[in-house]
A and B are shown apart, each in its own frame.
Chain A
Amino acid sequence: MRLAAWIGVFAALAALPFFLGSYHNDVYRKMLLWITLALGYNFLFGICGQVAFSHFAFYGIGAYSVVILLFQVNLPLPIAIVLGIVICVLLALAVAIPATRLEGFYLALVTLALAQLFIVVLNEGGAVTGGTGGIANYRLPPILGWRIAGPAYTVVIVALLAATLAVLWRLDRSWFGRACRAVRDNPEAAAAMGVDVARTKVIVFTLTSALAGVAGMVYAFVDNTVNPPIFGLDNAFLILFMVIVGGAGRHAGAAIGAILLFLLPFWLAPLVGHHHQLVFGALVLAAILVQPKGLVGLWDRFSR
């Protein structure tokens, strides 16, 4: 019955784009991608307690990888996707294995450095990355003779969201998710219960980074352009804000935070122009100080 309800929800989400104009379809697609990213980041930060700033960089790495492999190296789509995932996994392991052996802030610092380095590499990448202008004017190759575009591509994004949620949900509801929460709450006690703390952290970092990379591959064909400014650090922090405001550690929190902070600028723009960042800052501060469980925590309190 619960499964049927979820299928209903995702069927509705998949049907919606066919009733939207192209502008709203674009907004809708990006909102779905933000929800997907926030769900992954929530597992890393909210459930496993790892503070990393590379989640959005991996989104960019996925996007650039698939575009470069398809149109610069001329590989077929399935191989480009698989290689793109391999690149994300290898990079994530290269960052996570040394970082988790160190204590405290090192993962945050290393991932911040990675996010910065990624932008430098994009800008300096010459013909391979297209430099500051990035790569544009490409199209998703036909899949089995079918060119997926318009609302049909939005359905692909809904499927991505559904698959990401299914994977994270299943993990969260298992011994593995419990081990992640234990690592977050008390690493020494987790180790005493038989949890390999370093291994758990590396697995979660690698998995969520790869999921971000896959989301980036899907994103690459939303605007059909990838360029350095899209993958800047602002967005790395925005994901963190989404999870904190919505409620860290809960899938619903991540989704609500992503929807709210993604849509808020559209409503705020007529009022405060580009100063919506100030409103975000105030919201994050309010969440941390007054409501550490975020909006879902608030919902819990009033629905009881």
Chain B
Amino acid sequence: MGPVLEVRNLTKRFGGLTAVAGLDFELREGEILGLIGPNGAGKTTIFNIVAGVFGADAGEIRFAGEPILGLPPHEIARRGIMRTFQHNRPFGGMPVLENVLVGAHTRFRFNPFSRKSSLEETERRRRAEELVAFVGLGELRDADVGTLSFGQGRLLEIARALAGEPRAILFDEPAAGLTPAELDRLAAIVRGIASRGIAVLLIEHDMRFLLPLASRVVVLNFGARIAEGTPQEVRLQRAVMDAYLGDAAAQ
């Protein structure tokens, strides 16, 4: 099966600094690809280019065979790539379920004045309720988002992204700020998402969280790929240890 997302020769410069240098990687259906690297390795820049927030200086990104580099974020979402934010960004004026329904925005087909619009709304609401339950916020579906804990806010981000019925989902450091119990729950949810056939790209800092979870890992340093493989393979490479993993992960 061909890749869902292909990144070829991606290059991004900020003034004199090359943040991403001729990067290649691909993401396949149902896999969990981890993009790791030390601070400043270009992880967030790559994430933002794929999500349409930044442009690039060179290279190509194809999604489902179509070039998507340079499209604005809403077009990227419309094509089936949804994302979460590292710092939770809920819609503060709406309860949990409504937040998730915003994620389904691109799935609505009928104009608000048509007769079918109400049926569609009911159907989407039902699916959104399922997703809220899937991430474990079922009890809180009518709660004000301001009352959620940080970890619950992260789960809301995930449910909201899933509501768009994406083919690929991008997680921006999802483990950041979570408690150990929340990390376990998050790992189970990410596995559940991949098992639905959705391609998962994880940008992550936390090795203990990522290595057991990822099917494949791309290691970055100074915006370039220095290693790629299964977590087992990557863990043993000298360059990776030098660049990033250090003593803790090599143990």
List residues of chain A with CB under 8 Å of any chain B CB.
Answer: 170-171, 173-179, 181-182, 184-186, 188-197, 249
Contact = CB atoms under 8 A, between A and B. Distances in A.
Interface string B91-121: 1111000100111111010001100010001
A188 B90 CA distance: 11
Given A175-B108, A182-B102, A193 B164 contact: yes
Contacts of A178: 94, 98, 101-102, 105
Interface residues of B, number: 31
Contacts of B105: 175, 178-179, 182, 193-195
Nearest to B102: A182
B113 A192 contact: no
Given A175-B108, A193-B164, A188 B78 contact: no
Contacts of B91: 181-182, 185-186, 189-190
Contact of A189 (B78, B89, B108): B89
Contacts of B90: 185-186, 189
Interface string B46-68: 00000101000000000000000
Contacts of A179: 102, 105
B13 interface: no
Interface in B111-163: 112-113, 117, 121, 124, 160
Given A182-B94, A186-B89, 20 more contacts: A173-B121, A175-B104, A178-B94, A178-B101, A178-B105, A181-B91, A185-B90, A185-B91, A186-B91, A188-B53, A189-B89, A189-B91, A191-B72, A191-B74, A192-B51, A192-B83, A193-B82, A193-B102, A195-B105, A249-B93
B117 A194 contact: no
A171 B72 CA distance: 25
Nearest to A175: B108
Nearest to A176: B112
A181 B94 contact: yes
B112 A190 contact: no
Contacts of B74: 191-197
A184 B93 contact: yes
A4 B74 CA distance: 40
Contacts of A181: 91, 93-94, 98, 102
B5 interface: no
Given A191-B73, A194-B77, A175 B94 contact: no
Nearest to A46: B93
A197 B104 CA distance: 15
Nearest to B121: A174
B25 interface: no
A194 B164 contact: yes
Nearest to B51: A192
A175 B101 contact: yes
Contact of A174 (B85, B92, B117, B160): B117
Contacts of B108: 174-175
Nearest to B112: A174
Contacts of B124: 175
**By CB atoms of chain A within 10 A, which of B106, B112, B113 has the most?**
B112
Given A170-B112, A174-B112, A176-B112, A192 B77 contact: yes
B114 to A, nearest CB: 10
B82 to A, nearest CB: 7
A171 B111 CA distance: 9
Contacts of A171: 112
Contacts of B77: 191-194
B218 to A, nearest CB: 22
